[in-house]
Amino acid sequence: MKPDKFNGKGSVETFLAPFDICADYNEWSDADRAAHLKCSVTRVAGQLLWDSGRPGTISYDELREKLRRRFGSDDQQEKFQAELRARRRRRGEPLAELYHDVRRLMTLAYPGEWNSSLCEQIAKDYFIASLADRDLELKIREREPRDLESAFRRAVRLEAYDRAVDGNYYFEQQKLKGGRNKNEDGLSRKVTQIENRLEQVQKGPLIPKTAGNVSDPTVEELKRTVSDLSREVGRL
């Protein structure tokens, strides 16, 4: 069993707890613990070894205390609380990812207290505000979730409903649009056919006009039909 690495990011307590479990399981002595801890800190956290002035001789307890003072939540609670207040859902970010990040920040901002009923209420409000969607926020608050977990489940359910409704609406609109286009195409073809027929009639052998100069009834009928169809196409 090997301990994880710690580079100064995240919670130092989250790193130290499994480190102690690993040390106990492997039955390490204090010297072993010190050696493994020195090899487990990297980058900014590893700089503490050189800052001490004696990287080879610093003890396990001393290095552990330095890590807690430098990276512990006690000195960074205000920083994590500010991150919680400013946290907003990114474009395309899954709700589950947002939920876990709010939970993580709550653990860092309120160490040792995050599972209390008060912190659950605070976490719930931060999560709902972080959705950055006023309509979704109001719908969740109307259902009065009691904690962060219930607010998350309601958000997932409501978002799924909205997507289903939007998908059905888009499908129906596409069906209507497709039917309208077919009707328009059919009427347009009829108009074109009648116009061609009218042109052929007008170019055909001349029919003697009567004294009243009455036009050919076939031509007049075709003209009226073209006019009626053109108006119908225009209304679509």
Q: Supply the range of the domain harboring residue 208.
A: 170-235
CB neighbour class for 179 (10 Å; exposed up to 12, middle 13-18, buried from 19): exposed
Averaged pLDDT, 23-38: 91
d(CA 232, CA 189): 13
Q: Is 215 exposed, middle or buried (0-12, 13-18, 19+ CB in 10 A)?
A: exposed
Would you say residue 205 has pLDDT above 90? Answer: no
User: What are the tokens at 207?
Assistant: 């029919």
At 174, the pLDDT band (50, 70, 90 cuts) reads low
CA gap 96, 61 in Å, rounded? 38
When pLDDT is averaged across residues 110-130 and rounded to a whole number, the result is 87
Whether 47 is covered by a domain: the verdict is yes
Q: Give the HSE-up count for residue 82: Cα atoms under 13 Å, Cβ half-sphere.
A: 4
Judge if 156 and 110 occupy the same domain: yes
pLDDT above 90 covers a percentage of the chain that reads 32
Q: What are phi and psi of 55, to 5 degrees?
A: -60, -25
Give the pLDDT confidence of 41-81 residue by residue, as tens digits.
888 888 888 877 777 788 889 888 888 888 775 567 888 88
| Claim to verify: residue 176 and residue 129 sit in the same structural domain | no
Assess whether 176 and 222 both reside in one domain.
yes
Domain stops at, among 24, 56, 75: 75
Shared domain for 54 and 105, answered yes or no, is no
3 within a domain of the structure (yes/no): no
